[in-house]
Amino acid sequence: MQHYSSFVEVPDEVYDRIKPSRKVIIVALLSFCSFLAPISSTTILAAVPEVAATYHSTGTIINLSNALYMLFMGVSPCFWGPLSQGYGRRWICLVTAFLFCCCSLGTALSPNLASYYVFRILTAFEGTSFLNVGASCIGDIYRPTERATAMGWFLSGTLIGPAFGPFIGGIIVTFKSWRVIFYLQTALAGVALIGAFFLLPETAHSLKIDDIRGLPLKAKAKVLWGMLNPLRVIRLYKYPNLIMVALASSSLVWNMYSLLTPIRYVLNPRFDLTTPIQSGLFYLAPGCGYILGTFFGGRYADYITIKWTAERGGVRIPEDRLRSCLPFMGIAIPACMLIYGWSVEKRFGGIALPVIMMFCQGVAQLFCFPSLNTYCLDVNQAHAAEVIAGNYMIRYLFAALGSATVLPAIEKIGVGWFSTISAGFLVASSLATLTAVIWGKNWRDSIDKKRRAKRDLQHDAEDSGEKSEKPGIMPKIDEKDKHIV
């Protein structure tokens, strides 16, 4: 029934397989791994003019490589999600950590713009597996009432990375070549590889590859393709509630990257700053907000889940968790974005006002992401890795779109109106999330009912075919219409 019911409760004792102290080590390791791909997406932002000068190109072309980086971060979960369900979290993490290390070194040594693009894209394709595998591991080892707290710590790596990356890049490019950024990234990936080898156990409750042992080679290949087909990730969007949550995650990532990408081109001229390290300091504001939000966002999401479960007499509905993010995503972050954009556009508030608004956004986002990510684990535990993969796919496609369009859009309409568009997207996505809270369970039950009915029809057809093939049993023929009845 797991394959035809989206919400399946896992026996509680499963989560006691690993000691609490070991769980803390695993979450710390996964948070470090999740730090790598996102920090690579923004570390280079402070060095865009220098990279452009090296390859005799322009800032727009180099920013396009960052957009392609996001695009392939969005595409790759379709592969890593099913693979981690089939072969396990540990092996996928080890393989991709090794490849990420190699591709980072390739980027550092790129002799021309074409090779730079290729290695950046390959790095993105490998790096997203850390995000997918990390979230799935947390779903494997933590109870639903504990997950959001662990998820908050895990996601701190994914969010602190993009915020602190440009600051680190600004320091490096001020004193050294931009290539040192990727040498550092290579070293960090090597640490992640060693850590995963020694500290990360296999956390999956079961491996799909075990289900096909003993089958003939042809049958095994057919079943394996069905299990690992990347289209499995896309097919999960037959559930409207997953679409709504994906839009919510996308609006947050769109907002984050459209805020971070143009800082050097927007705030440097606005405040007469001249060096990369000066603009890099602005990235510390949202980064510090992410750190502060880590301590509270996940715990608040778990608190809301426990509260609503108690009010229902012990009945847990996954959609209850989404209530925790609504005021932050629908009110707090849009308000901060509007004040930030128009204060820069109309030149009021000095440096302090946009810095405060970026900090507040950082805090608020850590009240949203743990709720949304943990919901993906709760709502479809049997296919948690694929649901998370689909969510990351959609959100990073929007991140790619935001990174590619933010500079041309700001040049065309100004930072104020672009911030207004981002705020409107956030409000719309929060309303979509509210519909998932209200009707999500009914949507899931309706889709599950249709899937079970389709399965029953298929089984009935197979049973009828088997009976008609047995000796001595002939199908009845209607002589008038000459068809089998």
User: For 251-302, what is each residue's pLDDT tens digit?
Assistant: 998 888 777 777 777 877 778 777 767 777 787 888 888 888 878 888 999 9
What mean pLDDT is reported for the chain? 84
Answer yes or no: is pLDDT of 403 > 80.
no
Q: For 90-94, 163-167, 169-173, 347-351, which range has the lowest pLDDT when averaged over its residues?
A: 163-167
**484 pLDDT band (50/70/90 cuts)?**
very low
CA gap 164, 476 in Å, rounded: 74
Distance of CA 43 to the CA centre of its chain: 19
Q: What angle do CA 351, 269, 396 make, to 5 degrees?
A: 85
| Per-residue pLDDT tens over the stretch 41-63 | 778 877 888 898 999 888 778 87
| Per-residue pLDDT tens over the stretch 148-178 | 889 988 888 777 777 777 788 878 888 889 9
Which pLDDT belongs to residue 8? Answer: 60
| Per-residue pLDDT tens over the stretch 187-236 | 999 999 999 999 999 988 877 777 777 778 787 777 777 777 777 788 88
Q: Taking the CB of residue 51, how many other CB atoms lie within 10 A of it?
A: 22
Q: Are 99 and 192 in contact (CB under 8 A)?
A: no
| Per-residue pLDDT tens over the stretch 315-337 | 889 999 999 999 999 999 999 99
Looking at the chain, the whole-number percentage of residues with pLDDT higher than 70 is 91
Distance of CA 79 to the CA centre of its chain: 14
Answer yes or no: is pLDDT of 134 > 60.
yes
Which pLDDT belongs to residue 469? Answer: 54
**pTM of the full structure:** 0.77
Domain boundaries, the chain: 17-203+224-467
| Per-residue pLDDT tens over the stretch 471-482 | 554 444 444 444
Answer yes or no: is pLDDT of 79 > 50.
yes
Contacts of residue 484, defined as CB under 8 A and 6 or more positions apart, other chains included, come to 475, 476, 477, 478
CA gap 259, 398 in Å, rounded: 13
Q: For 20-24, 359-363, 452-456, 467-471, which range has the lowest pLDDT when averaged over its residues?
A: 467-471
Which pLDDT belongs to residue 481? Answer: 42
Assigned superfamily of 17-203+224-467: MFS general substrate transporter like domains (1.20.1250.20)
Which pLDDT belongs to residue 7? Answer: 57
The tokens describing 305, both together, are 């889940």
Contacts of residue 165, defined as CB under 8 A and 6 or more positions apart, other chains included, come to 38, 39, 40, 41, 42, 43, 44, 45, 283
- The secondary structure of the chain in percent helix, strand, coil, rounded to multiples of 5, reads 80, 0, 15
| Per-residue pLDDT tens over the stretch 404-440 | 788 888 888 988 999 999 999 999 999 999 999 999 9
Which pLDDT belongs to residue 277? Answer: 73
b/e per residue 278-295 (b: at least 16 CB within 10 A): bbbbbbbbbbbbbbebbe
Can you tell me whether residue 484 is helix, strand or coil? Answer: strand
Which pLDDT belongs to residue 457? Answer: 79
Which pLDDT belongs to residue 69? Answer: 86
Answer yes or no: is pLDDT of 9 > 80.
no
HSE-up (13 A, CA, CB side) for residue 422: 37
Answer yes or no: is pLDDT of 468 > 90.
no
Which pLDDT belongs to residue 183? Answer: 95
Can you tell me whether residue 274 is helix, strand or coil? Answer: coil
Which pLDDT belongs to residue 407? Answer: 80
Which pLDDT belongs to residue 467? Answer: 58
Can you tell me whether residue 478 is helix, strand or coil? Answer: strand
The tokens describing 253, both together, are 């990532």
